[in-house]
Amino acid sequence: MMPLLHIEDNRIFTTRGEAFAVFEIESEPYENQSLNIQRNIINTVAHGFDNLSGEFWLNILTRQLSADQIEEKMRQFSEAPIWNAHTKEVKNYLHHLLPFTKVNLLIVPLLQKRFSIDLTSENWKDWVKQAFQGIVDFKDQMTKGREMIPSDSLIAAKNEAEDWYTKLGPLGKVKTANLALIEWWLKKGYFRGLPDPKCSLPDPMPIQAIAHGRQHWIRPSRSIILSLTDVKAREKATRLLFEHADDLTSHQTYFSTVNVPSPIPPDDPTGREWIYGITENLNFPVDVAVHIKVEEHRKALDNLGKKIKTATAQYEEWQDNGEEIPLEIEENMAAIPTLKKKLRSTQPLLHVKTVFALGASDEKTLKKRITSFKNAAQNYHLLIQAPGDMKPMFQSFYPFGDPLPSSWEIPMDPGVLGASALLGTKALGDPFGFWLGRQTEGGRTVWCNPKRPATELNSTNAIMIAGTLGSGKSALLKYLSTILASWGAYGLLVDPKGDTDPMLQLPFDIKMLKFIRGENTRFSPFKLGTVEDARAMMDITFNPKSEDDKETVINLAVERLYKNGCLDMNGFYQALMDIANKSPQEYLKEIAFKIAQKVQLMEQHEIGEFMFGTGDNDSFNAQFIIAVTRDLTMPARNHERSTWTESQRYSVAIMYAVASLGLRKLMKLPRHILKFLSIDEKWVLDLFEQGVRLQNEALRFSRSENMIPIFASQNPTDHYSIEQKEDTTGLFAWKFMLHLESSTQVQAAMELLGMQDEYSSVWDQKFADYSKGKGMCRDPEGRIAEIQVEVVPQILMKYFDSNPDNSKIKHEQFSYVF
């Protein structure tokens, strides 16, 4: 029964003269975190309750939208053919596996002295009539003039709620709940297993101010109906059914527990997560109500003495009668010394009642969920499902209903509650975006919105991928790029393998630059980029030993080239010859002449000729640019620049040119346009200082330029900072570590994920077994899980496969599908 009268900010006022404050506590990443982080999460809750007293209702709830609601949100991203096909296929998946998110609410009572409200008898008849529904419909039966809240009670409740906000800070990241969240919580119980209820209350709630002399009141001018008057409730022995007007029925059942893992070693509290271990390892929502009464340690110690006498008498009675002593009595006796010791150390005693709630849209699904839930819970709990107690167990999620019997309470120290890891989460990914895949354990869905880190999390958008041959690294890079393009993003994808030809058939404005022998690809390194980019490219090409004199000549020639306006390699040659003929310094003349000769020879080189374009680099004007660098001859990672061959210098310069020209083109676009820069085998850019600077620039400007850098490499160590490099690994929002083949690679991957403390040889084998998009993932909020990337729609894999049968892929087929 919910006798609600008024809601102001995060405060609720009831017709009984009660007031409550509602707070939200953020979940913390727990799965695959280091032991130190997990212990910190556990200890934060334990220490948080050390300094609290009173009564609390802690609800661990789940939000779950319907397939139609999710489809509606997805269609807001784009109407492009590929995105429409993606949305359609995802909706089919959602009929079997809906995503859900976790919401933690803490409800605290306010105003020890109740305020008085005068209700008419007609109102009370209405309460009795609709008590079971929980939230009653006042409608016109309400005599509003008799329902008023004194202003001093409103002020006192506000001040007390502000004090509680400060007191609750040690529990974690606490914030005040808003009206929409409170309304959702109040309705949630009636929709368990169904799509989330819609919120309709006006914010703020309308009121009338009334004054009589020096006394002031407020009178709600709208009753809190919450649209539940059409719900029909039926109670069975172990079920509650809520039938809604739209022919949907919420089938619900509830479980409580008679024991929890105890004692909990303070120095090693992990491994006994008696709430997290159940709720976070299932692929369907489970709601949890935790009612907590905190008893000050002196009072608790006195009461414990009385309970010891009772428990001892029960134990001796069973023993004297020669009967088998019930397990719960033995466990209570075993726990007494630990409790007594902790209470003597000034810890309070918590009296905790825990209720697990399961819901589904039909009885068959509910039965399956009950079986899965029991299997998950058997390692932690002795569960009970009390027949006939479904209604009070339902009401345990609210502070308004009849309380559960005190015999259901389990006394525990704060460390036992903390060890439940009730605020931890195993969730991975964004609330919405595109379908990225599923977690391998439990099968929970993983969504990705690459724009969210910058728009909501005050972070950069960058994505890191590492994986050797067969890992699915390149397919993931292509998938991310294609989805972003379907959202209207402009971007560049660098393909070192030359297997992207099928992607030309995707329904985008796509152009491909092929740096392959025999191709007629030509570009000018002096157009679209900056003067600094041009200097860098020429320095890489013609100054392998980084000699100061050569650098001076190159810089002079580049400056003269831009001054003359002939922005191509022929213009660079003429600028060098001008220096060779006119410079007053003989040694500069000689250097300029030698470089000019190399420019002439470069035009005849099978790789160098690619830089002898004279046009306006029109290929960089498409929405989606693919640069195929398959025939470029890259130097080995450990070779000094001075040892590079001519072909290697040209190849590195072209790789840098493509990346830098692409980046400049993207940064010239308006900021509201989404952009992406996808570079496979990014280690090539790490070989020289300019390439490192280019990556850093892309990372640091990604947020302000609305750009998503996606850097991939076979070896995780390529993403490390080395001597004379700045560490940028913290600038990546998403990190994917796929198939790896050596212990060194695995250790590097785990350090990048933040799991370095968990490394063992077991992980070597685990990463070796990964393939085709399976691996470990860290999301923008620091959550880590093993996932299987799933390309949706599946037909896209025909265009991403490294060895496709191109003859079978036809544009007509693609058009038909999308």
666: confidence class by pLDDT, cuts 50, 70, 90: very high
Domain boundaries, the chain: 4-64+99-296+348-425, 297-347, 456-518+620-759, 524-616
As a whole number of angstroms, the distance between CA 238 and CA 772 comes to 45
The two structure tokens encoding residue 179: 């009206």
Beta-bridge partners for 240? 235, 252
Contact 382, 373 (CB under 8 A): no
126: confidence class by pLDDT, cuts 50, 70, 90: very low
Strands of 53-140 (E only): list them. 54-63, 101-110
pLDDT over 80 at 310, yes or no: no
What average pLDDT does the chain have? Answer: 86
pLDDT over 80 at 312, yes or no: no
Mean pLDDT of 413-441: 94
SS3 content of the chain, % helix, strand, coil (to 5): 40, 20, 40
Mean pLDDT of 44-52: 91
As a whole number of angstroms, the distance between CA 406 and CA 91 comes to 46
Which residue's structure tokens are 């004297």? 320
Compute CA distances 501 → 799, 801, 814, whole Å.
8, 10, 14
pLDDT over 50 at 674, yes or no: yes
- Residue 615 gets which letter from DSSP? S
Tens-digit pLDDT profile for residues 726-736: 678 889 999 99
Predicted pLDDT at 430: 94
Tens-digit pLDDT profile for residues 375-399: 999 888 777 777 888 999 999 999 9
Residues 118-123: contacts with CB under 8 Å, at least 24 apart: 118/146, 118/147, 119/15, 119/143, 119/146, 119/147, 120/146, 123/15
The two structure tokens encoding residue 305: 């003495």
Tens-digit pLDDT profile for residues 778-790: 999 999 999 999 9
- Pick the closest to residue 665 from 503, 504, 523 (CA basis): 523
Mean pLDDT of 3-29: 92
CA atoms within a 13 Å half-sphere pointing along the CA-CB vector of 606 = 8
As a whole number of angstroms, the distance between CA 386 and CA 790 comes to 42
- Residue 115 gets which letter from DSSP? P
Helix (H, G, I), strand (E, B) or coil at 249: strand
DSSP letter for each residue of 138-159: -GGG--GGG--EEHHHHHHHHH
Lowest mean pLDDT among 285-299, 325-339, 435-449, 670-684: 325-339
Predicted pLDDT at 37: 93
pLDDT over 90 at 556, yes or no: yes
Which of 90-94, 148-152, 261-265, 517-521 tops mean pLDDT?
90-94
Q: How many CB atoms lie within 10 A of CB 40?
A: 12
pLDDT over 60 at 366, yes or no: yes
Predicted pLDDT at 337: 62
The two structure tokens encoding residue 303: 């009461």
Residue 121 burial class via C-beta count within 10 angstroms: exposed 0-12, middle 13-18, buried 19 and up? exposed
Identify the H or E element spanning 336: helix 327-344
Predicted pLDDT at 617: 62
pLDDT over 60 at 325, yes or no: no
Residues above pLDDT 70, as percent of the chain: 85
Q: How many CB atoms lie within 10 A of CB 757?
A: 12
Predicted pLDDT at 540: 92
Contact 387, 235 (CB under 8 A): no
As a whole number of angstroms, the distance between CA 430 and CA 732 comes to 15
Fold category of 456-518+620-759 in CATH: Rossmann fold (3.40.50)
Tens-digit pLDDT profile for residues 446-468: 999 999 999 999 889 999 999 99
Predicted pLDDT at 749: 96
pLDDT over 50 at 144, yes or no: no
Tens-digit pLDDT profile for residues 465-513: 999 988 999 999 999 999 999 999 999 999 988 889 999 999 999 999 9
Contact partners, residue 724, CB within 8 Å, separation at least 6? none
Predicted pLDDT at 305: 64
pLDDT over 60 at 552, yes or no: yes
